[in-house]
Amino acid sequence: MADIIKLLPDHVANQIAAGEVVQRPASVVKELLENAIDAGAKTIKLIVKDGGKTLVQVVDDGDGMSETDARLSFERHATSKISSAQDLFNLQTKGFRGEALASIAAIAHVDMHTRTATNEVGTHIKIEGSKIVSQEVVAAPKGTSISVKNLFFNIPARRNFLKSDQVELRHITDEFHRVALVHPDIEFHFYNNGSDIFNLPSAKHRQRIAHIFGSKMDGRLVPVQEETEVVKISGFVCKPEFAKKSRGEQFFFANGRFIKSPYLHHAVVAAFEGLIKSDLYPGYFLYLQVDPSSIDINIHPTKTEVKFDDENTLYAILRSTIKHSLGQFNVAPVLDFEHDPNLDTPYSYKEKGATLPKITVDASFNPFQQTPERRSMGSGAYQKTSVKGWEGLYEGLEKSTDIEGFSSVVIESESEEQGTLYSDDGTGHLASTFQLRRKYVVSTVKSGMLVIHQNRAHERILFEKFLGEITVKEGLSQQLLFPMELTFNKQELAVLSEIKESLTNIGFAFESLEQETVKVTGVPLVVPESGIGTVLDRLIADYTEGFSDGSVSQAEVLAKVLSKNLAVRTGEVLDQESQLALLDNLFACKEPSLSPFQKLTYTIISEGDIDKKFS
């Protein structure tokens, strides 16, 4: 039998390794930024073109490399960080596998300039698909500049799996945040297609967070600090009132490295128990320092998944530390049964003495003297006035639908012919409806009983409405008497700029989108003026999360997000007209049976099923 096992060629092995290390342009950004930090850089520039597909360039002022090191850095498993397997358990640096540059060079065109402080000249190396095209001596500044061009040029199938430029840029921005947040002492610059996105000076942790996520974030942070024999915890959590419906500003760092840990995330959520709703997520920026020998970061190629020796203890310490910080800064509610607030002295009265009250008597007052008002009332001073016409005081109140403090929601029918559903008594009158548990609208049809989920049905109605308006560009706008100014961070502004045209088509009107301020001058008719800020916040968060896969069009995602945030909620009261309008509009939709999120909007319980219950 012939031998069937053979060694893979180097270029094939490099491409297989690249599949683990380089998944998308953001992976290249992560590896190059970590190498720059390990080189001791104080200023790092990231330059990106076309979402990283055309160019990813990182320029640093670190130690640089000699001519020999520059050549060796592109060989597989070539590293300056470790020399034995035991070093894996005492890591203080970021890149240590020695696969990053070799894997990147296997699937892209790489151009590197580097020079050390002791050398007068630097080295310029060009590599295309693991093949060194040229190496020459050039004049170069101290540090290293690596340009990665035409990613996956020799693997078309992998390149076809990349998403749109906006989606890839969003992933790159996420990686940039993860590196910049944990190294506030390093100055970072981020450029995309020639425009300046981030310019982060060297600062402290709190200032770095504010520079990235906007100045308004500074007032939302609660400091967290604790030091034990097991772990040293520092950082910030966001106040409970700023918890969001989507996972956004949530960062864990262990020994200067971004990590993902659902177990520790649960500890943070547990600390907020009772302060936020179960469907909200708190924001946090937490930095953990543990013994390097007690953490294993070599269990995944991306090095974001780690293994701690004693996770249970870490969980308990983290949870109690956050609860203590929330209570210490008066964020968590505290009950003191021994304190009487009635005994508190106002600050302005602390130094004032007691004053005796003055009593004055009107000596000329005569209770038996008749005043003109009393004469008009007749001889009896307390005679009642006429109550004629009291019924008019209650006109119109019998139509009120305000029940137990819930405001009534009115839905207007948009179909040209009102009342597509009629009763089955042969009279031709509209079918009667009623609301069940403020969640379902119940009506009758010829085949039995119709039960509609009011939230999902309204989502379907709004989804098709917004999708049509975005496509046809005929959305109605309600102009605001006074323009509303809202503040957003740079990443949120980038998302708003991306979807501005679609928002304009459905009725939003923006006067300006400058720096951190957005001036809104008009909104769609279905958006209440008081909820503009909330709607846009949720819109940005949900759009970022929903559009991350890039599998559907921008218009469809935007219509889904808007319908989700503006639809009638469970628990809201609908009057009779709104219930009928909901039925009419739902069955006028192209796909009435499913919500935009593929959930059932209504069901029909047949008369036969009802009869079986009584058999």
pLDDT tens figures, 578-595:
999 999 999 999 999 999
Among 144-158, 467-481, 491-505, 520-534, the range with the most confident prediction by mean pLDDT is 144-158
Residues 93 and 223 both lie in one domain? no
In a domain, 227, yes or no: yes
- Percent of the chain at pLDDT > 90 equals 37
| Domains identified in the chain, total number | 3
- Percent of the chain at pLDDT > 70 equals 78
In a domain, 376, yes or no: no
Region for residue 363 given its phi and psi (left: phi exceeds 0; alpha: psi -120 to 50; beta: otherwise): alpha
pLDDT at residue 26 tops 50 = yes
pLDDT at 380: 46
Provide the pLDDT confidence category of residue 288 given band limits of 50, 70 and 90: very high
The CATH number for 286's domain is 3.30.230.10
As a whole number, mean pLDDT of residues 176-191 equals 95
The CATH number for 19's domain is 3.30.565.10
Of 328, 344, 372, the residue that ends a domain is 328
Least confident residue range of 71-85, 315-329, 502-516? 71-85
Per-residue pLDDT of 120-136, as tens digits, reads 999 999 999 888 899 99
Residues 433 and 289 both lie in one domain? no
In a domain, 144, yes or no: yes
Residues 134 and 230 both lie in one domain? no
Residue 191: both structure tokens together: 């450029």
> What is d(CA 295, CA 307) in angstroms, rounded to the nearest whole number?
6
Residues 130 and 241 both lie in one domain? no
Provide the pLDDT confidence category of residue 552 given band limits of 50, 70 and 90: low
pLDDT at 19: 62
The CATH number for 536's domain is 3.30.1370.100
pLDDT at 8: 74
Region for residue 439 given its phi and psi (left: phi exceeds 0; alpha: psi -120 to 50; beta: otherwise): alpha
Of 328, 352, 385, the residue that ends a domain is 328
In a domain, 228, yes or no: yes
pLDDT at 167: 82
Give me the phi and psi of 524, to 5 degrees please.
-65, 160
> What is d(CA 256, CA 180) in angstroms, rounded to the nearest whole number?
11
In a domain, 396, yes or no: no
Residues 222 and 186 both lie in one domain? no
In a domain, 323, yes or no: yes
Per-residue pLDDT of 214-241, as tens digits, reads 888 888 999 999 999 999 999 999 999 8
Least confident residue range of 92-101, 165-174, 377-386? 377-386
pLDDT at residue 15 tops 90 = no
Give me the phi and psi of 117, to 5 degrees please.
-70, -30
CB proximity list for 195: less than 8 A, separation 6 or greater: none
> What is d(CA 573, CA 440) in angstroms, rounded to the nearest whole number?
10
What is the pTM (predicted TM-score) of this model? 0.70
Helix runs in 201-310, H state only: 205-213, 262-271
Residues 123 and 217 both lie in one domain? no
Give me the phi and psi of 141, to 5 degrees please.
-70, 160
CB 305 within 8 A of CB 299: yes
As a whole number, mean pLDDT of residues 482-506 equals 83
Q: Which domain holds residue 237?
A: 212-328
Average pLDDT, the chain: 81
CB-CB neighbours of 219 under 10 Å: 9
As a whole number, mean pLDDT of residues 259-285 equals 90
In a domain, 5, yes or no: no
Residues 97 and 233 both lie in one domain? no
pLDDT at 330: 64
Residues 142 and 228 both lie in one domain? no
- Which residue in 585, 569, 551 sits closest to 464, CA to CA? 585
> What is d(CA 267, CA 49) in angstroms, rounded to the nearest whole number?
39
Residues 196 and 279 both lie in one domain? no
In a domain, 345, yes or no: no
Provide the pLDDT confidence category of residue 289 given band limits of 50, 70 and 90: very high
- Decide which of 69 and 13 is more confident: 69
As a whole number, mean pLDDT of residues 325-331 equals 79
* Element containing residue 166 per DSSP (H, E): helix 165-182
pLDDT at residue 505 tops 50 = yes
Helix runs in 214-310, H state only: 262-271
The DSSP secondary structure of 484-535, one letter per residue, reads EEEE--HHHHHHHHHHHHHHHHHT-EEEEEETTEEEEEEEETTS-GGGHHHH
CB 129 within 8 A of CB 41: no
> What is d(CA 272, CA 256) in angstroms, rounded to the nearest whole number?
25
As a whole number, mean pLDDT of residues 345-371 equals 71
pLDDT at 140: 93
Residues 218 and 175 both lie in one domain? no
Of 154, 170, 202, the residue that ends a domain is 202
Residues 156 and 192 both lie in one domain? yes
CB 436 within 8 A of CB 605: no
CB proximity list for 488: less than 8 A, separation 6 or greater: 214, 496, 516, 518, 540
CA pseudo-torsion sign 162, 165, 167, 168: positive
As a whole number, mean pLDDT of residues 14-27 equals 77
As a whole number, mean pLDDT of residues 294-319 equals 81
Provide the pLDDT confidence category of residue 402 given band limits of 50, 70 and 90: very low
Provide the pLDDT confidence category of residue 379 given band limits of 50, 70 and 90: very low
- Decide which of 182 and 165 is more confident: 182
Residues 198 and 231 both lie in one domain? no
pLDDT at residue 212 tops 60 = yes
pLDDT at 454: 95
Residue 132: both structure tokens together: 């060194």
